[in-house]
Structure 1
């Protein structure tokens, strides 16, 4: 058995015990009328998916029966009486026995005879952890363990088993230490100010001392008081020496404090890096079994699906990965049930009969981005609108009225209970999955976004911090309160002349260039979104300070009183009542006062919901971000800046939207990312890293972008090069020696 297989089973052994314990506690200890059946159902649903991920079909089948039982109770079709509770308990016992059998060491005596009578278990597999642990290491079976695995015969080091709770406490203490050290920076500043004050005092004293001595000596001669002068002068000199000594000690103290603070800061940074290295694990440890799970489900559903996983070697905080496990599982199931069509339907649409589902993890801007995408049907916006109207989430639209914006409709799929499935099956239909995804993203101080892929398919993006506790925040002040905004969502800081504000239906807006487009963006007082609905936009010296935030394609400018600084801070969960969903956590500042951490995504969604008529008009959206395809997009790939500029000017003059790449690898990243919908590629042949032929071959072998036309432009007019390009699938081959912009534009016109 591979190490990753052992790690997956070890994680499942821990997870299944947690779910069983929680469900039993709910059924045993709570009053029947106060049981949170939604939580109990979600646990059964998660247990089923986890069993699928580690290939335990017998456990999955029992968990499915348990999930169906709780679903009937949740829907009011069955009461939670003694008989139902007994049935649920029996299923829980069966699951426990089946897992014990499956994860027991080879040759160990069977412990799950009752489970064998109900459902034959899967064949025994190797243990999830090394046998015969020492007495000092033993503990409750439900305690999570992190284990550095290495071949026993290597003898390269000693490994220690540590309870995950202890690692979490260590990580929390480390972040608290960093927060305290950061708060202590104010002491350095205070000490520096005292040193400056004492230096100024010394200069004043030097001036005053000369004046006193001159005045005293003059009066002594005039009044014949020479003895008193002789007494005063030594005392003044003593005072002067004491003041100089005090200044020297203070300066030395300030230098030592600065050096000490620097050394402590460096040690704390090393400690943070060491703790984070211990806390980080490869994403494959948690997500490694998902590809197999989706393939198995697809086979059972009679669908031919190719599953790709990318970036599972990325190192991520274990807490973050565990929090994302169920959400990602739900997304993969949704991609299969809602996205990928049967082979016959795909063929009728001109698609390859074999569908594709991709799970990709990447690091962008210091954040973890999880993408689950498919090449299936894509979001059914009309169906989403109908379901939203039926559920009262949208008002019925009058005939001929403008349809809601795409981003507004797609945000509704994350509402609890929302589902467009025609019927409930093992994969979908209960409206639980996507709300679980949104809740997990909120708890991790992240965001989730659904968007269509072109020419077909759907992508859901989860954007969360790499670590569960610490994140980078922009601190701002509004109406005498401090707020923190996650810096990943901040596009830029603005200082807007009040005279530049425009009015759209009585609401203040401003024109801002975003992505080369002139976009009308709403300007909203941040206090108006956080409890003071009638708060005015603060204006100081004729200017408005605002933070331009983004969520998906939508932008808003949040007006504040003052900007402070950007810090990496320890974010605590919020348990207080009345703060609203837009507050995702709190941080403590130097004066022990809390600052509220706001979710930019929920702030924008709140504005969209309350100003739906303005949102539907496209306010805050660049033209290319709407659901209507704008100008045709052409990707120009050339390592020569002169050639790129020339071709860009020619194409833009004809109304085309132009993107630029410097070589084949850069272009391939643009094409595969899905960030832009590219209609045609014009590529040079001779380029560093990846030439035009390599780019063409990569495009034509990738089914997602193979249909994109590619024009090769090069100074190489050799017939063999022309033939090679055309054999690889080039739509046209134009030589630069005979370059004629009319020929280029005519070729583009024929291809498009």
Structure 2
């Protein structure tokens, strides 16, 4: 019976998470929520809790079900108070389930029960006695679900064994190359023997010569057969490894929800303790990553969420005066992209206090004091200081706000994972922290390059392009060698620095003008850097192992990998390389890395997002705008445009959008932009063939800065409109 209960609890753990996630998604947009579906979920949750004899959970679900039934019967929809009450009940259920899962004492649910109108007594909460489980078999032709408990350490060990096996296969590939070389040598020897016989005439020992010749032919033939067999075996092992890796990933890669799924409840609990109204949004936790990566990220994420409540919380009067909703909005979003796990933690509070951070950095000697009349420092430079020990923007020290050590610990945790942390200002107000870490801490696709006589690996996720340029193709920009290259259809100027110079922080050697230099373009968002190397030798998927190398700065390497024939190479951290360049040569390449302050950028290049489903129209508008010096990014419809705007990979200054488009039209795109606190101030021009007066009025009422009809399209009008807006 104990085994059966364990299986039932494991099944309940999966089922209750699914129900809670579905209900929370509905609560995120209560006006559009299908309340009957929410009711069905709560009813199913009650039945599942009854099946495993979790009385408090059953009673909480029952009371939630009753309250929702009252809302449905009244036909009034969910008001904010009802949403808060349901969240309170869900948080209590989540706490009970978590304690049950971890073998901890069950938390007191009396507050939630009382708020839901129940008698806060878990022992007498169940009005309905648990029904005895009836052993019903599965439907004909279907297999009953099976639950297997796997120790996470076993999964990690299995994954490590797989990575070692992969290394052995790579060594086997090197042996195959050796066999092929022997075959070529044997063939060459056979040809030489034939030439010797032809020149030497009849050999007195013809029988011995003939035997030698036959033996040599057999050697060549056997080597050929060995080569073919080894090639087939190597291919078969490689295919098996690929299939095995995919299966192992199903074990070792786990949904982020399993590690981070309870953090929404934590934020709501913190906000209640602080007397704050909060709206928590958790998105993308279906993303899968290695459990050890997620577990290493959990504490940094918790700290950042606490910061969002502590630093982002504002009095209701202050929020109202700023035109904000009365509730603090906190978002946790996970995204998998390019082999990386990206976590976004954002709030719509007052945003980081740049002056306070700068003053703290100056006080600790991290930045020199600004001379009177000197230009303001760029926001990126100041925000980077927030991750230094002892630098804090908190005005007070309390249980939530620390003493400036928290962000430093976040940065150290991410560096240990081979990742990075960035602090950003949201528009028009608020704070966002972006955490980036590998989905898998071990297996990575690497570009192998030689620099300064040593081999290095660079993860492919951070590489934009591989190039070859001569010194004559480069120019000096603000004292730094730079190259003008095309990226995504736009010209950018980016600094060029030898990789060995950047690693060892030595004086750069001049690039040879008579030979093409191999270059690796690495990037982080809109920041680009060209690394000059001696040679780019390979691109491989390799096992990255931990390495404690005191010869290099902490965080500069992600570990080490082994190539064929036991050749080691250091795997470099691209984020750390860019940070090192910014620290040591910022004055030489600020504009090239996209870090010039906004006033200077405004006088140089503005970026326009053109949204139109017609490729002809997109191409025409792109050519017209680029001819006037604008940088242009294209989107095929409103959904594509919103993804671009919210990706934080490009700084958009203006949107020019068509109206009639599939998936999301221009009006819906405009509404989404103006409803997003981070995009609300972004100007939008609607440009369409619809010139109906009602459409024009609708576009302007929704917040468009201008409405241009294509029938009366005039380039001068477009440029004048853009000039007026920007």
Deviation readout 1:381-412 (Å, 9 max, x if unpaired): 22221110111111222222344433332222
For residues 154 and 164 of structure 2, what CA distance do their matches in structure 1 show?
15
Quick check: 1:171 aligned with 2:171?
no
Q: What per-residue deviation string (whole Å, max 9, x for no partner) do you get for residues 167-215 of structure 1? A: 1111111111111211221111111122222222223333333333xx2
Select the residue among 326, 331, 354 that pairs with 2:327. Answer: 354
User: Which residues of 2 match residues 144-543 of structure 1 at below 5 A?
Assistant: 156-212=144-200, 215-216=201-202, 232-503=205-476, 508-513=481-486, 519-531=492-504, 533-534=506-507, 536=509, 539=512, 542-543=515-516
**1:668 pairs with 642, 646, 653, which one?**
642
Deviation of 1:733 (Å): 4.7
Distance 1:197 1:57, change over 3 A: closer
2:106 alignment partner in structure 1: 102
Determine helix, strand or coil for the equivalent of 1:102.
coil
Distance 1:635 1:606, change over 3 A: closer
Change beyond 3 A, Cα 1:378–1:207: same
Report if the CA contact (8 A) 1:518-1:622 is conserved. no
Offset, 1:554? 3.5
TM-score normalized by the length of structure 2 = 0.76
1:75 aligns to what? Answer: none
From the superposition, tell whether residues 281 and 713 of structure 1 become closer, same or farther in structure 2 (CA, over 3 Å): same
Distance 1:5 1:448, change over 3 A: farther
SS of 2:565 mapped into structure 1: coil
CA contact (8 A) 1:529 1:603 kept: yes
Report the count of equivalent residues.
Answer: 617
CA-atom RMSD, angstroms? 3.8
Q: Which moved more, 1:654-663 or 1:487-496?
A: 654-663
Counterpart contact for 1:618–1:626, Cα < 8 Å: no
Counterpart CA distance in 1 for 2:387 and 2:462 is: 20
In the TM superposition, what are the counterparts of 1:587-598 in structure 2 within 5 Å?
587-598=561-572
- Distance in 2 (CA, whole Å) between partners of 1:710 and 1:520 is 28
Give secondary structure in 2 for the equivalent of 1:435: helix
1:295 is displaced (CA, Å) by: 2.3
How far has the Cα of 1:264 moved from its partner? 0.7
Q: Which structure has the larger Rg?
A: 1
Structure 1 residues 417 and 680 mapped into 2: Cα distance closer, same or farther (>3 Å)? same
Structure 1's 202 and 583: CA in aligned 2 closer, same or farther, altered over 3 A?
Answer: same
Offset at 1:430? 2.0
Q: Which moved more, 1:703-712 or 1:342-351?
A: 703-712
Q: What is the CA deviation profile of residues 668-718 of structure 1, one whole-angstrom value per residue up to 9, with x for unaligned ones?
A: 212333444445433223323333344344445545445545444333456
**Alignment partner of 1:483: what SS?**
strand
What are the Cα deviations for residues 623-647 of structure 1, in whole angstroms up to 9, with x where unaligned?
A: 6888865655443211222212333
CA distance in 2, matches of 1:724, 1:400: 47
How far apart are 1:377 and its partner, in Å?
Answer: 2.4
Deviations 1:568-603 (A, max 9, x none): 222122234343212331222323343222222222
Distance 2:470 2:583 in 1: 28
**Kindly tell me: are residues 646 and 590 of structure 1, through their superposed partners in 2, closer, same or farther at Cα, counting changes over 3 Å?**
closer
What is the alpha-carbon distance in structure 2 between the residues aligned to residue 321 and residue 647 of structure 1? 44
Q: Aligned to 1:353, what secondary structure does the other structure show?
A: coil
Tell me, yes or no, if the aligned pair for 1:303 and 1:343 is still in contact at 8 Å: no
Q: Once structures 1 and 2 are overlaid, which stretch shifts more, 539-548 or 482-491?
A: 539-548
Offset of 1:277 from its aligned partner? Answer: 1.0
Q: Does 1:737 align with 2:725?
A: no
CA offset digits 1:44-94 (Å, max 9, x no partner): xxxxxxxxx9879999xxxxxxxxxxxxxxxxxxxxxxxxxxxxxxxxxxx
- Residues 199, 519 of structure 1: CA spacing in aligned structure 2 closer, same or farther, 3 A cutoff? same
Shift of 1:318: 1.1
Equivalent-residue separation in structure 1 for 2:698 and 2:669 (angstroms): 13
Instruction: Give the secondary structure class of the aligned counterpart of 1:431.
Output: coil
Distance in 1 of aligned mates of 2:327 and 2:614: 39
Task: Give, in angstroms, the shift of residue 538 of structure 1.
Answer: 6.3
Pair 482,749 (structure 1): closer, same or farther in 2 beyond 3 Å: closer
2:584 aligned with 1:610: yes
Name the SS of the counterpart of 1:101 in structure 2.
coil
Residue number among 2, 6, 13 corresponding to 1:3 in the alignment: 13
By how many angstroms is 1:561 displaced? Answer: 1.8
CA-CA distance at 1:745 after TM superposition: 4.9
Query: Is 1:687 matched up with 2:661?
Result: yes
Pick from 705, 715, 735 the counterpart of residue 689 of structure 2.
Answer: 715
Does the 8 A contact of 2:494 with 2:530 survive in 1?
Answer: yes
- 2:574 alignment partner in structure 1: 600
Q: Which residue of 2 aligns with 1:72?
A: none
CA shift, 1:265, in A, is 0.6
Deviation at 1:358, TM superposition (A): 1.6
Residue segments in structure 2 that go unaligned for 5+ positions in a row? 1-8, 19-89, 109-119, 126-134
For normalisation by structure 1, the TM-score amounts to 0.73
Q: Distance in 1 between matches of 2:695 and 2:591?
A: 48
Q: Specify which of 539, 551, 557 is matched with residue 583 of structure 1.
A: 557
Q: Deviations over 1:453-507 (max 9, x none)?
A: 2233222211211112112222221222112222222232232313345556765
SS of the residue corresponding to residue 414 of structure 1 reads coil
Is the Cα contact below 8 Å between 2:163 and 2:543 reproduced in 1? Answer: yes
Larger mean CA deviation between 538-547 and 684-693 belongs to 538-547
Query: Structure 1 residues 506, 668: closer, same or farther in 2, change over 3 A?
Result: closer
Q: Is the 8 A contact 1:4 1:284 kept in 2?
A: no
SS at match of 1:377: coil
CA shift digits 1:507-540 (9 cap, x unpaired): 5444445566665544333223334624635649
The whole-number CA distance in structure 1 between the counterparts of 2:208 and 2:616 is 80
| In 1, Cα distance between equivalents of 2:401 and 2:601 | 29
2:711 alignment partner, SS class: helix
